[in-house]
Amino acid sequence: MSQDKPPINWKTTLFLLATFLISVIGVPWFISRYGFHAFDLVHFLVMAYATGLAITVGYHRLFAHRSFQARKAVRVITGLFAAATFENSILTWASEHRYHHKYVDRDGFPYDPYNINKGFFHAHMGWLLREQSPKMDRSNVADLEKDPFVRWQDRHIHALMIAMGLLLPILVGVIQGLLSGRPLFQAALAGFLFGGVARVVFVHHGTFFINSLCHFLGRRPYDSGTTARDSGLVAFFTYGEGYHNYHHTFPGDYRNGIRAWHFDPGKWVIWLLEKTRLAWSLKRVPEETVQMARLKEQRRRLEHSLTTRLEDLRSQASEMLLGLEQRLELLHARARQLWSEHHALRSQPRVERRPRLQELKREARQLRLEFMAELANWRQAAAALRATA
Protein backbone atom coordinates (compact mmCIF):
# COMPACT_ATOMS: atom_id res chain seq x y z
CA MET A 1 0.00 0.00 0.00
CA SER A 2 1.25 3.45 -0.87
CA GLN A 3 2.63 5.36 2.14
CA ASP A 4 0.59 8.46 1.32
CA LYS A 5 -2.66 6.55 1.71
CA PRO A 6 -4.18 6.21 5.18
CA PRO A 7 -4.98 2.69 6.43
CA ILE A 8 -8.22 1.01 5.46
CA ASN A 9 -11.15 1.47 7.82
CA TRP A 10 -12.02 -2.22 8.02
CA LYS A 11 -15.12 -1.82 10.18
CA THR A 12 -16.82 0.55 7.74
CA THR A 13 -15.52 -1.24 4.65
CA LEU A 14 -16.80 -4.64 5.78
CA PHE A 15 -20.15 -3.19 6.84
CA LEU A 16 -20.72 -1.47 3.48
CA LEU A 17 -19.63 -4.59 1.60
CA ALA A 18 -21.75 -6.94 3.71
CA THR A 19 -24.93 -4.86 3.46
CA PHE A 20 -24.49 -4.54 -0.29
CA LEU A 21 -23.97 -8.29 -0.80
CA ILE A 22 -26.87 -9.20 1.49
CA SER A 23 -29.11 -6.84 -0.51
CA VAL A 24 -28.16 -7.93 -4.03
CA ILE A 25 -28.16 -11.63 -3.12
CA GLY A 26 -30.64 -11.89 -0.28
CA VAL A 27 -33.54 -9.89 -1.75
CA PRO A 28 -33.73 -11.82 -5.08
CA TRP A 29 -33.33 -15.11 -3.19
CA PHE A 30 -36.11 -14.18 -0.76
CA ILE A 31 -38.53 -13.23 -3.55
CA SER A 32 -37.76 -16.40 -5.52
CA ARG A 33 -38.31 -18.54 -2.42
CA TYR A 34 -41.27 -16.85 -0.75
CA GLY A 35 -42.75 -14.72 -3.51
CA PHE A 36 -43.38 -10.99 -3.71
CA HIS A 37 -45.47 -9.33 -0.98
CA ALA A 38 -46.72 -5.78 -1.47
CA PHE A 39 -46.24 -5.08 2.24
CA ASP A 40 -42.48 -5.63 1.90
CA LEU A 41 -42.26 -2.93 -0.77
CA VAL A 42 -44.36 -0.55 1.34
CA HIS A 43 -42.18 -1.30 4.36
CA PHE A 44 -39.04 -0.57 2.33
CA LEU A 45 -40.38 2.73 0.95
CA VAL A 46 -41.76 4.00 4.26
CA MET A 47 -38.53 3.24 6.11
CA ALA A 48 -36.44 4.64 3.25
CA TYR A 49 -38.27 7.96 3.31
CA ALA A 50 -38.60 8.14 7.09
CA THR A 51 -34.88 7.60 7.64
CA GLY A 52 -33.72 9.48 4.53
CA LEU A 53 -35.76 12.54 5.45
CA ALA A 54 -34.49 12.28 9.02
CA ILE A 55 -31.00 12.78 7.58
CA THR A 56 -32.08 15.63 5.29
CA VAL A 57 -34.35 17.46 7.75
CA GLY A 58 -32.57 16.52 10.97
CA TYR A 59 -28.86 15.83 10.56
CA HIS A 60 -28.42 18.20 7.62
CA ARG A 61 -30.69 21.22 7.87
CA LEU A 62 -31.59 21.28 11.58
CA PHE A 63 -28.31 20.23 13.19
CA ALA A 64 -25.47 20.80 10.70
CA HIS A 65 -26.73 24.15 9.33
CA ARG A 66 -29.12 25.32 12.08
CA SER A 67 -31.44 26.55 9.33
CA PHE A 68 -34.42 26.37 11.69
CA GLN A 69 -35.25 25.71 15.33
CA ALA A 70 -37.44 22.82 16.45
CA ARG A 71 -39.08 21.38 19.52
CA LYS A 72 -37.44 18.52 21.37
CA ALA A 73 -39.87 16.00 19.88
CA VAL A 74 -38.64 16.87 16.37
CA ARG A 75 -34.99 16.69 17.42
CA VAL A 76 -35.50 13.31 19.09
CA ILE A 77 -37.54 11.74 16.27
CA THR A 78 -35.15 12.85 13.54
CA GLY A 79 -32.16 11.85 15.66
CA LEU A 80 -33.54 8.34 16.25
CA PHE A 81 -34.66 7.66 12.69
CA ALA A 82 -31.45 9.12 11.24
CA ALA A 83 -29.51 6.70 13.45
CA ALA A 84 -31.28 3.90 11.53
CA THR A 85 -29.29 4.87 8.42
CA PHE A 86 -25.98 3.82 10.04
CA GLU A 87 -24.48 7.22 9.11
CA ASN A 88 -23.01 7.79 12.58
CA SER A 89 -24.13 10.27 15.23
CA ILE A 90 -25.41 13.82 14.90
CA LEU A 91 -22.11 15.22 16.17
CA THR A 92 -19.88 13.23 13.82
CA TRP A 93 -22.11 13.74 10.77
CA ALA A 94 -22.55 17.48 11.37
CA SER A 95 -18.84 17.99 12.07
CA GLU A 96 -17.76 16.33 8.82
CA HIS A 97 -20.41 18.24 6.89
CA ARG A 98 -19.36 21.59 8.32
CA TYR A 99 -15.75 20.87 7.35
CA HIS A 100 -17.02 20.02 3.85
CA HIS A 101 -18.71 23.41 3.50
CA LYS A 102 -15.90 25.43 5.04
CA TYR A 103 -13.13 23.76 3.02
CA VAL A 104 -15.06 22.56 -0.03
CA ASP A 105 -12.84 21.11 -2.79
CA ARG A 106 -9.76 21.73 -0.63
CA ASP A 107 -6.97 19.26 0.13
CA GLY A 108 -4.31 19.64 2.81
CA PHE A 109 -5.35 20.39 6.38
CA PRO A 110 -8.04 21.19 7.34
CA TYR A 111 -9.69 19.61 4.33
CA ASP A 112 -12.92 18.66 2.62
CA PRO A 113 -13.56 15.05 3.75
CA TYR A 114 -15.35 14.14 0.51
CA ASN A 115 -13.42 16.25 -1.98
CA ILE A 116 -14.73 15.59 -5.53
CA ASN A 117 -11.35 16.60 -6.96
CA LYS A 118 -9.99 13.31 -5.61
CA GLY A 119 -12.34 11.44 -7.90
CA PHE A 120 -16.01 10.53 -8.15
CA PHE A 121 -15.62 7.30 -6.17
CA HIS A 122 -13.70 9.04 -3.38
CA ALA A 123 -16.47 11.64 -2.98
CA HIS A 124 -19.19 9.00 -3.25
CA MET A 125 -17.94 6.50 -0.68
CA GLY A 126 -14.18 6.03 -1.02
CA TRP A 127 -13.50 8.55 1.74
CA LEU A 128 -15.34 6.26 4.16
CA LEU A 129 -13.19 3.23 3.35
CA ARG A 130 -10.01 4.70 4.83
CA GLU A 131 -9.19 6.18 8.20
CA GLN A 132 -9.41 9.96 8.34
CA SER A 133 -5.85 11.24 8.10
CA PRO A 134 -4.94 13.60 9.54
CA LYS A 135 -7.93 13.29 11.84
CA MET A 136 -9.98 16.44 12.40
CA ASP A 137 -11.61 17.07 15.76
CA ARG A 138 -15.23 17.97 16.50
CA SER A 139 -14.55 21.44 17.86
CA ASN A 140 -16.74 22.87 15.09
CA VAL A 141 -19.90 21.40 16.65
CA ALA A 142 -19.50 22.79 20.17
CA ASP A 143 -22.89 24.48 19.76
CA LEU A 144 -24.58 21.12 19.22
CA GLU A 145 -22.92 19.56 22.27
CA LYS A 146 -25.00 21.89 24.45
CA ASP A 147 -28.08 19.79 23.59
CA PRO A 148 -28.45 16.91 26.12
CA PHE A 149 -30.20 14.70 23.55
CA VAL A 150 -27.40 15.19 21.03
CA ARG A 151 -24.84 14.14 23.64
CA TRP A 152 -26.95 11.12 24.63
CA GLN A 153 -27.40 10.06 21.01
CA ASP A 154 -23.66 10.28 20.43
CA ARG A 155 -22.88 8.09 23.47
CA HIS A 156 -25.36 5.39 22.45
CA ILE A 157 -25.14 5.65 18.66
CA HIS A 158 -24.08 2.05 18.00
CA ALA A 159 -26.94 0.59 20.05
CA LEU A 160 -29.37 3.03 18.42
CA MET A 161 -28.21 2.13 14.91
CA ILE A 162 -28.84 -1.57 15.55
CA ALA A 163 -32.13 -1.00 17.39
CA MET A 164 -33.62 1.50 14.92
CA GLY A 165 -31.96 0.21 11.75
CA LEU A 166 -32.42 -3.55 12.15
CA LEU A 167 -34.46 -4.56 15.20
CA LEU A 168 -37.30 -2.11 14.49
CA PRO A 169 -37.82 -3.39 10.90
CA ILE A 170 -37.73 -6.98 12.19
CA LEU A 171 -40.34 -6.08 14.82
CA VAL A 172 -42.54 -4.48 12.15
CA GLY A 173 -42.21 -7.64 10.09
CA VAL A 174 -43.18 -9.84 13.05
CA ILE A 175 -46.24 -7.68 13.81
CA GLN A 176 -47.29 -7.87 10.15
CA GLY A 177 -46.88 -11.65 10.31
CA LEU A 178 -49.04 -11.92 13.43
CA LEU A 179 -51.77 -9.79 11.87
CA SER A 180 -51.75 -11.44 8.45
CA GLY A 181 -51.01 -15.06 9.34
CA ARG A 182 -47.70 -14.98 7.49
CA PRO A 183 -45.10 -17.38 8.95
CA LEU A 184 -43.19 -15.44 11.60
CA PHE A 185 -39.72 -16.43 10.43
CA GLN A 186 -40.56 -15.35 6.88
CA ALA A 187 -42.10 -12.08 8.12
CA ALA A 188 -39.11 -11.33 10.37
CA LEU A 189 -36.65 -12.10 7.57
CA ALA A 190 -38.63 -9.84 5.21
CA GLY A 191 -38.43 -7.03 7.77
CA PHE A 192 -34.68 -7.55 8.14
CA LEU A 193 -34.10 -7.52 4.37
CA PHE A 194 -36.56 -4.91 3.08
CA GLY A 195 -37.02 -2.53 6.01
CA GLY A 196 -33.49 -3.10 7.24
CA VAL A 197 -30.48 -3.98 5.11
CA ALA A 198 -31.70 -3.16 1.57
CA ARG A 199 -33.20 0.09 2.81
CA VAL A 200 -29.90 1.03 4.51
CA VAL A 201 -28.02 0.49 1.23
CA PHE A 202 -30.59 2.56 -0.70
CA VAL A 203 -30.44 5.47 1.77
CA HIS A 204 -26.65 5.30 1.93
CA HIS A 205 -26.30 5.84 -1.78
CA GLY A 206 -28.89 8.61 -1.69
CA THR A 207 -26.65 10.41 0.80
CA PHE A 208 -23.49 9.47 -1.10
CA PHE A 209 -24.91 10.95 -4.32
CA ILE A 210 -25.13 14.34 -2.58
CA ASN A 211 -21.36 14.26 -2.08
CA SER A 212 -20.54 12.89 -5.54
CA LEU A 213 -23.21 13.44 -8.19
CA CYS A 214 -24.23 16.85 -6.79
CA HIS A 215 -20.62 17.97 -7.35
CA PHE A 216 -20.43 16.41 -10.81
CA LEU A 217 -23.69 16.81 -12.73
CA GLY A 218 -25.70 19.98 -13.32
CA ARG A 219 -25.44 23.76 -13.57
CA ARG A 220 -23.75 26.40 -11.42
CA PRO A 221 -26.01 29.47 -11.65
CA TYR A 222 -24.96 31.06 -8.34
CA ASP A 223 -21.24 30.36 -7.95
CA SER A 224 -18.94 28.73 -10.50
CA GLY A 225 -16.11 28.89 -7.97
CA THR A 226 -17.33 25.68 -6.35
CA THR A 227 -17.90 22.22 -7.80
CA ALA A 228 -21.40 22.05 -6.28
CA ARG A 229 -24.10 21.93 -8.97
CA ASP A 230 -27.86 22.25 -9.36
CA SER A 231 -29.75 19.34 -10.90
CA GLY A 232 -33.49 18.78 -10.68
CA LEU A 233 -32.92 15.19 -11.81
CA VAL A 234 -30.47 14.44 -9.02
CA ALA A 235 -32.92 15.93 -6.50
CA PHE A 236 -35.18 12.89 -6.99
CA PHE A 237 -32.39 10.56 -5.83
CA THR A 238 -31.20 12.70 -2.92
CA TYR A 239 -34.38 13.57 -1.00
CA GLY A 240 -34.49 17.02 -2.58
CA GLU A 241 -30.81 17.88 -2.07
CA GLY A 242 -30.08 18.19 -5.80
CA TYR A 243 -30.04 22.00 -5.90
CA HIS A 244 -26.55 21.91 -4.48
CA ASN A 245 -25.00 25.02 -6.03
CA TYR A 246 -27.70 27.07 -4.34
CA HIS A 247 -27.11 25.21 -1.08
CA HIS A 248 -23.37 25.88 -1.11
CA THR A 249 -23.99 29.54 -1.92
CA PHE A 250 -26.64 29.92 0.81
CA PRO A 251 -26.08 27.00 3.22
CA GLY A 252 -28.21 28.52 5.97
CA ASP A 253 -31.45 28.50 3.95
CA TYR A 254 -33.89 25.82 5.11
CA ARG A 255 -34.79 25.27 1.46
CA ASN A 256 -32.66 23.49 -1.09
CA GLY A 257 -35.02 23.95 -4.02
CA ILE A 258 -36.29 27.51 -3.72
CA ARG A 259 -38.99 27.46 -6.40
CA ALA A 260 -42.45 26.00 -5.83
CA TRP A 261 -41.87 23.38 -8.53
CA HIS A 262 -38.47 22.27 -7.20
CA PHE A 263 -38.63 18.75 -5.78
CA ASP A 264 -37.56 19.20 -2.18
CA PRO A 265 -39.52 17.08 0.33
CA GLY A 266 -37.23 18.27 3.13
CA LYS A 267 -38.41 21.84 2.51
CA TRP A 268 -42.04 20.76 2.58
CA VAL A 269 -41.60 18.83 5.84
CA ILE A 270 -39.94 21.81 7.55
CA TRP A 271 -42.68 24.14 6.26
CA LEU A 272 -45.31 21.76 7.67
CA LEU A 273 -43.49 21.63 11.00
CA GLU A 274 -43.61 25.42 11.16
CA LYS A 275 -47.34 25.49 10.41
CA THR A 276 -47.94 23.00 13.24
CA ARG A 277 -45.73 25.08 15.57
CA LEU A 278 -43.15 22.33 15.91
CA ALA A 279 -40.50 24.47 14.19
CA TRP A 280 -39.75 28.18 14.02
CA SER A 281 -37.10 30.71 12.96
CA LEU A 282 -36.88 29.26 9.47
CA LYS A 283 -33.96 30.91 7.67
CA ARG A 284 -34.94 32.00 4.17
CA VAL A 285 -32.66 33.97 1.85
CA PRO A 286 -34.55 36.98 0.39
CA GLU A 287 -35.27 36.85 -3.33
CA GLU A 288 -33.25 40.03 -3.93
CA THR A 289 -30.15 38.40 -2.41
CA VAL A 290 -30.65 35.32 -4.59
CA GLN A 291 -30.96 37.47 -7.71
CA MET A 292 -27.83 39.44 -6.79
CA ALA A 293 -25.85 36.18 -6.57
CA ARG A 294 -27.13 35.07 -9.99
CA LEU A 295 -26.37 38.50 -11.44
CA LYS A 296 -22.76 38.51 -10.20
CA GLU A 297 -22.18 35.01 -11.52
CA GLN A 298 -23.61 35.98 -14.93
CA ARG A 299 -21.34 39.04 -15.02
CA ARG A 300 -18.29 36.89 -14.27
CA ARG A 301 -19.22 34.50 -17.07
CA LEU A 302 -19.92 37.36 -19.49
CA GLU A 303 -16.60 39.07 -18.78
CA HIS A 304 -14.83 35.77 -19.27
CA SER A 305 -16.54 35.21 -22.62
CA LEU A 306 -15.42 38.57 -24.03
CA THR A 307 -12.21 37.90 -25.92
CA THR A 308 -9.00 39.91 -25.65
CA ARG A 309 -9.65 41.20 -29.19
CA LEU A 310 -12.55 43.14 -27.70
CA GLU A 311 -10.58 44.61 -24.80
CA ASP A 312 -12.06 48.12 -25.17
CA LEU A 313 -15.57 46.72 -25.40
CA ARG A 314 -14.85 44.52 -22.42
CA SER A 315 -13.75 47.52 -20.35
CA GLN A 316 -16.82 49.54 -21.35
CA ALA A 317 -19.07 46.56 -20.71
CA SER A 318 -17.61 46.01 -17.26
CA GLU A 319 -18.13 49.68 -16.35
CA MET A 320 -21.73 49.62 -17.59
CA LEU A 321 -22.57 46.37 -15.81
CA LEU A 322 -20.87 47.53 -12.63
CA GLY A 323 -22.84 50.78 -12.72
CA LEU A 324 -26.11 48.88 -12.97
CA GLU A 325 -24.90 46.44 -10.34
CA GLN A 326 -24.07 49.26 -7.93
CA ARG A 327 -27.61 50.62 -8.24
CA LEU A 328 -28.91 47.14 -7.52
CA GLU A 329 -26.61 46.91 -4.50
CA LEU A 330 -28.04 50.16 -3.11
CA LEU A 331 -31.57 48.85 -3.53
CA HIS A 332 -30.52 45.57 -1.96
CA ALA A 333 -28.97 47.38 1.03
CA ARG A 334 -32.18 49.34 1.56
CA ALA A 335 -34.17 46.12 1.38
CA ARG A 336 -31.97 44.60 4.09
CA GLN A 337 -32.67 47.65 6.28
CA LEU A 338 -36.39 47.08 5.81
CA TRP A 339 -36.05 43.40 6.73
CA SER A 340 -34.10 44.30 9.88
CA GLU A 341 -36.66 46.90 10.94
CA HIS A 342 -39.51 44.46 10.23
CA HIS A 343 -37.81 41.85 12.42
CA ALA A 344 -37.23 44.37 15.23
CA LEU A 345 -40.90 45.40 15.22
CA ARG A 346 -41.98 41.88 16.18
CA SER A 347 -41.03 42.56 19.80
CA GLN A 348 -43.44 45.53 20.04
CA PRO A 349 -47.13 45.28 20.94
CA ARG A 350 -49.32 44.56 17.92
CA VAL A 351 -51.32 47.80 18.20
CA GLU A 352 -48.17 49.93 18.27
CA ARG A 353 -46.39 48.17 15.44
CA ARG A 354 -49.31 47.90 12.99
CA PRO A 355 -49.05 51.42 11.41
CA ARG A 356 -45.30 51.11 10.84
CA LEU A 357 -45.68 47.57 9.50
CA GLN A 358 -48.13 48.81 6.89
CA GLU A 359 -45.67 51.53 5.87
CA LEU A 360 -42.87 48.97 5.63
CA LYS A 361 -44.99 46.70 3.45
CA ARG A 362 -45.77 49.57 1.05
CA GLU A 363 -42.12 50.60 0.90
CA ALA A 364 -41.04 46.98 0.39
CA ARG A 365 -43.46 46.56 -2.54
CA GLN A 366 -42.14 49.72 -4.19
CA LEU A 367 -38.56 48.66 -3.55
CA ARG A 368 -39.23 45.25 -5.10
CA LEU A 369 -40.60 46.94 -8.25
CA GLU A 370 -37.53 49.17 -8.53
CA PHE A 371 -35.20 46.24 -7.93
CA MET A 372 -36.84 44.07 -10.59
CA ALA A 373 -36.80 46.97 -13.07
CA GLU A 374 -33.05 47.51 -12.56
CA LEU A 375 -32.51 43.77 -12.77
CA ALA A 376 -34.32 43.71 -16.11
CA ASN A 377 -32.08 46.55 -17.34
CA TRP A 378 -28.99 44.58 -16.28
CA ARG A 379 -30.17 41.43 -18.03
CA GLN A 380 -31.01 43.36 -21.20
CA ALA A 381 -27.55 44.94 -21.25
CA ALA A 382 -25.89 41.59 -20.54
CA ALA A 383 -27.84 39.91 -23.35
CA ALA A 384 -26.79 42.63 -25.81
CA LEU A 385 -23.14 42.24 -24.82
CA ARG A 386 -23.35 38.47 -24.99
CA ALA A 387 -24.58 38.73 -28.56
CA THR A 388 -21.47 40.73 -29.54
CA ALA A 389 -19.00 38.48 -27.74
pTM: 0.83
Residues 273 and 334 in one domain: no
Q: Which amino acid appears at position 15 of this protein?
A: F
Q: Which amino acid appears at position 19 of this protein?
A: T
pLDDT of residue 302: 74
Residues 184 and 229 in one domain: yes
Query: Which letter, b or e, does each residue of 109-136 get, where b requires 16 or more Cβ atoms within 10 Å of its Cβ?
Result: eebbbbbbeeeeebbbbebbbbeeeeeb
pLDDT at 2 over 60: no
Return the closest-CA partner of residue 302 out of 324, 323, 318: 318
Residues 269 and 296 in one domain: no
pLDDT tens for residues 148-205?
A: 999 999 999 999 999 999 999 999 999 999 999 999 999 999 999 999 999 999 999 9
Return the closest-CA partner of residue 127 out of 46, 233, 207, 24: 207
Residues 254 and 335 in one domain: no
Residues 115 and 160 in one domain: yes
Residues 229 and 293 in one domain: no
Return the closest-CA partner of residue 324 out of 386, 384, 382: 382
**Of 65-74, 89-98, 135-144, which gets the smallest average pLDDT?**
135-144
Helix (H, G, I), strand (E, B) or coil at 8: strand
DSSP 97-150: HHHHHHTTT--SSS--TT-GGG-HHHHHTGGGSB--SSPP-SGGGTTGGGSHHH
The structural domain count of the chain equals: 2
Return the closest-CA partner of residue 189 out of 38, 34, 80, 19: 34
- Is pLDDT larger for residue 360 or for residue 26? 26
**Of 5-19, 168-182, 195-209, 341-355, which gets the smallest average pLDDT?**
341-355
pLDDT of residue 296: 85
DSSP H or E stretch at residue 327: helix 311-345
**Residue 72: pLDDT band by 50, 70, 90 thresholds?**
very high
**Residue 374: pLDDT band by 50, 70, 90 thresholds?**
low
Cα dist. 137→9, 110, 132, 134, 211 in Å? 18, 10, 11, 10, 21
Residue 243 per-residue DSSP state: B
Domain boundary among 280, 315, 342: 280
pLDDT of residue 167: 98
**Residue 350: pLDDT band by 50, 70, 90 thresholds?**
low
Determine the average pLDDT of the residues in 243-261.
Answer: 96
Residues 78 and 94 in one domain: yes
Mean pLDDT of all residues belonging to the chain: 88
pLDDT tens for residues 110-154?
A: 788 999 999 999 999 999 999 987 788 999 999 999 999 999 999
Of 98-112, 139-153, 325-339, which one has max mean pLDDT? 139-153
Contact between residue 335 and residue 343 where contact means Cβ atoms under 8 Å apart = no
Residues 267 and 294 in one domain: no
**Residue 309: pLDDT band by 50, 70, 90 thresholds?**
very low
Q: How far apart are CA 43 and CA 114, in angstroms?
A: 31
